Amino acid sequence: MNDNAPSSPRIHLPEYPDILDAYKRIRKSIHKTPVLTSETYNQRFESSLFFKCENFQKSGSFKFRGALNTVLQLGEDEIQRGVATHSSGNHGQAVAKAAKTRGCRSVVVMPENAPKVKVEAVKNYGGEVVFCKPTLESREVTLQELVEREGLVVIHPFADPRVIAGQGTTALELMLEVPDLDLMIMPIGGGGLISGCSLAAYNRSNILRDAVFKEDLPNTEDIPNVEHLPNPGKTSQTGKSNPGIRIIGTEPKMADDASRSFHFGIYTTTGNRHTIADGLRATIGRINYDMIRRYVNDIVTVKESAIIHEMKTFWERMNLIIEPSCAVPLAALPLLGDEIRNKRVGVIITGGNLDLNHLPWMQESE
Amino acid sequence: MNDNAPSSPRIHLPEYPDILDAYKRIRKSIHKTPVLTSETYNQRFESSLFFKCENFQKSGSFKFRGALNTVLQLGEDEIQRGVATHSSGNHGQAVAKAAKTRGCRSVVVMPENAPKVKVEAVKNYGGEVVFCKPTLESREVTLQELVEREGLVVIHPFADPRVIAGQGTTALELMLEVPDLDLMIMPIGGGGLISGCSLAAYNRSNILRDAVFKEDLPNTEDIPNVEHLPNPGKTSQTGKSNPGIRIIGTEPKMADDASRSFHFGIYTTTGNRHTIADGLRATIGRINYDMIRRYVNDIVTVKESAIIHEMKTFWERMNLIIEPSCAVPLAALPLLGDEIRNKRVGVIITGGNLDLNHLPWMQESE
């Protein structure tokens, strides 16, 4: 899917008001997902971890925020035409469910080898499924043909300011509940989540001062040093001066295009995509890269074995079902050491859609 | 374990003030677990379901509430002696973790075939494990010998007013968050949870009026008809006149001693115990039976296949890990039909401790 697809009418990088507007737009229709804590995890990492549980979000992942924020901004003519996207997983389900809220047709292009459970989920939310070959090229060509033939409106999974602003409401909500985080950590696939969340984190002091959220804040007295939180300053081009909250992106080593782009300072989308973290196989979007350069402090990569191990550990300790992509930031925690010690760390738990009949630790032992 | 064991100093049935005191005692040390909702479930049952997620409770189940409420009431001499219990699962973990909060020794008698993961969990919380043969008789004899030899204080899993009052805080918290439930549904093993929760539900109007909880209530305006909620009247001996909230207990057909006791009106503890719902294999306690007769409206039994099916469905739809015992009320929902239609139904999600290497749907297909 091309970043400059004609169906993305706005190409500006989203700014704070976009996130604010997105939240006002979607807040009544999304789950305000719980923030969970665990003594076991806190002791293990000698830090205070706050898990923002988007695996409880409608459609099973944070993707519903961005999809809904986009669908709610479509004109009546666009709603009449219907929407389309390609996705092997969460974005497809999110678009189908979001479209349904406006009685809008939705079509999701999915690879023919997509897990049955994900295909069924899209259909259950009222989406139509069109199959393609399991290559990125086939996905894009199939979607393009479909759009041209049937006049559908494309909802890009990450390289769209409306989607980015929607995903950013995840961090906004987390900061309203835990206003004094030192650090936030999350996975990177195409970069939609981290673009929005890093922008929101950069504007923490705006968010905490905004009258709109007064009622959401736990208690005025609970907000530590709100007057002393740094103001958003001039945007740094190095990505190193994000005021207040450090933002750490995480990627599988087997799909590290964002990490390489970030560390080498050159936008790159090549590399292998064989990670078990199927939600992170997408290559990073151009506007997402631009935002990551601006607002993200570091990107850490993790091994496949660590993803599986930490996924299972989280299931056992937290009684939460998370998918492999979601375990990527958890697998990064042991690598961060001093950087998180004695810190207050927000971890975005992104989603829990996976096939329970094929669990990686079961496959391992076969 | 005998209901009249000398280590249970109080034999009165717990009353409302006991639950109130329990909550004041433990509230700072427990997780206020989230209440989750699901459009998918609501549509399926044409009702509003509120899942009180005690699988997120410390030690992984609601059992921590009762264990902690008991440990916190022990005298210094009892703490010096240490505590003991027998358990194949959640109660053992809860006692070990609760004892640790007071630096107290804890010993858990476990069957020698208990899953390794549960044995490890007890040890991780600082408990000592003593193995016995996998029969109820061996458990009780082993515990009795241990207690006599080492002077330990027994914490009964369910037939103790302190434990019952602690478990009742689960319903108390749920009602503070969702004050206008029509019905509450939960599993029955020994009966500790339902004894406490039905007592709490019976006292809903007291709880909602109690100044202690003012700050916990969502918003005065959100509390519907608080002035019109029924006062607790004279206790009915038929168990049919619980004012305000109907209480439905659920049991596996393969361990239906509470159901038979309730429906025949004769306390009975015989019957088979071969259900997959390992947390519900205990026979109902005498004082628990007395409370169930008073405060519970009905008990519904479910098949083993339904337990497994609904457990997997809940994992898939809710992204929550629950154990087989916890799926028993979920398996009862399809049987309730009109009784829950258009009603506001609280479901106690009791726990999520199980061995992820042995999932029932995997075993089925082998």
pLDDT tens digit string along A168-225? 999 999 999 999 999 999 999 999 999 999 999 999 988 888 767 776 665 544 443 3
- Per DSSP bridges, beta strands A48-53 and A35-36 are antiparallel
In sequence order, what DSSP letters do the residues of A43-111 get, joined into one string? HHHTSEEEEEEGGGSGGGBTHHHHHHHHHTT--HHHHHH-EEEE-SSHHHHHHHHHHHTTT--EEEEEE
CB B299 within 8 A of CB B248: yes
User: Considering B88, B195, B198, B259, which one is annotated as catalytic?
Assistant: B88
**pLDDT at site A182:** 95
Question: Which chain B residues have a beta carbon less than 8 Å from that of A34?
Answer: 34, 36
Helix (H) or strand (E) holding B288: helix B286-295
Quick one: closest CA in A to B118, which residue? A316
CA–CA distance, B152 with B154 (Å, rounded to integer): 6
**How close A275 gets to chain B, by Cα (Å)?**
22
Question: Which chain B residues have a beta carbon less than 8 Å from that of A31?
Answer: 37
**pLDDT at site B215:** 67
pLDDT confidence band for B233 (50 / 70 / 90)? very low
Question: Which chain B residues have a beta carbon less than 8 Å from that of A318?
Answer: 56
A133-142, A258-267, A341-350, B47-56: segment of lowest average pLDDT: A133-142
User: Considering A63, A97, A195, A261, which one is annotated as catalytic?
Assistant: A63
**pLDDT at site A362:** 78
A38 is catalytic: no
CA–CA distance, B345 with A295 (Å, rounded to integer): 44
**pLDDT at site B282:** 86
Question: Which chain B residues have a beta carbon less than 8 Å from that of A37?
Answer: 31
Share of chain A above pLDDT 70, in %: 87
Whether residue B223 is predicted with pLDDT greater than 70 in this model: the reply is: no
Backbone phi, psi, residue B193, to 5°? -65, -50
Q: Out of B56, B117, B357, whose CB is closest to A319?
A: B56
CA–CA distance, A203 with A210 (Å, rounded to integer): 11
Nearest to A181, CA basis, from A52, A285, A25: A52
Kindly report the CA angle at A37 between B105 and A33, in degrees rounded to 5? 145
Pick A364 or B69 by higher pLDDT: B69
CB A292 within 8 A of CB A198: yes
Report CB contact under 8 Å: A321, B321.
yes
pLDDT digits (tens, 9 = 90+) for B9-35: 446 899 999 999 999 999 999 999 999
A54-68, A125-139, B45-59, B323-337: segment of lowest average pLDDT: A125-139
Position B125: which residue type? Y
Mean pLDDT for A29-48 is 94
**pLDDT at site B80:** 97
CA distances A352 to A273, A294, A320, B203, B319, Å, are 20, 29, 8, 38, 6
Sheet holding B48-53, edge to edge: B35-36, B48-53, B344-349, B183-187, B246-252, B298-302
pLDDT digits (tens, 9 = 90+) for B158-208: 999 999 999 999 999 999 999 999 999 999 999 999 999 999 999 998 888
**How close B320 gets to chain A, by Cα (Å)?**
5
Dihedral angle over CA of B47, B48, B54, B57, nearest 10: 160
**How close A176 gets to chain B, by Cα (Å)?**
17
Report CB contact under 8 Å: B356, A359.
yes
- Chain A residues whose C-beta is within 8 A of a chain B C-beta are 31, 34, 36-37, 39, 55-56, 58, 60, 117, 312, 315-316, 318-322, 351-353, 356-357, 359, 361-362, 365
**pLDDT at site A86:** 92
Helix (H) or strand (E) holding A25: helix A16-26
Mean pLDDT of chain B: 88
CB A59 within 8 A of CB A125: yes
User: Considering A61, A87, A88, A195, which one is annotated as catalytic?
Assistant: A88
| CB proximity list for B288: less than 8 A, separation 6 or greater | B158, B159, B164, B190, B191, B192, B194, B195
A63 is catalytic: yes
DSSP class of B14: P
**pLDDT at site B105:** 98
Highest mean pLDDT among A111-120, A217-226, B46-55: B46-55
CB A76 within 8 A of CB A102: no
**pLDDT at site A1:** 47
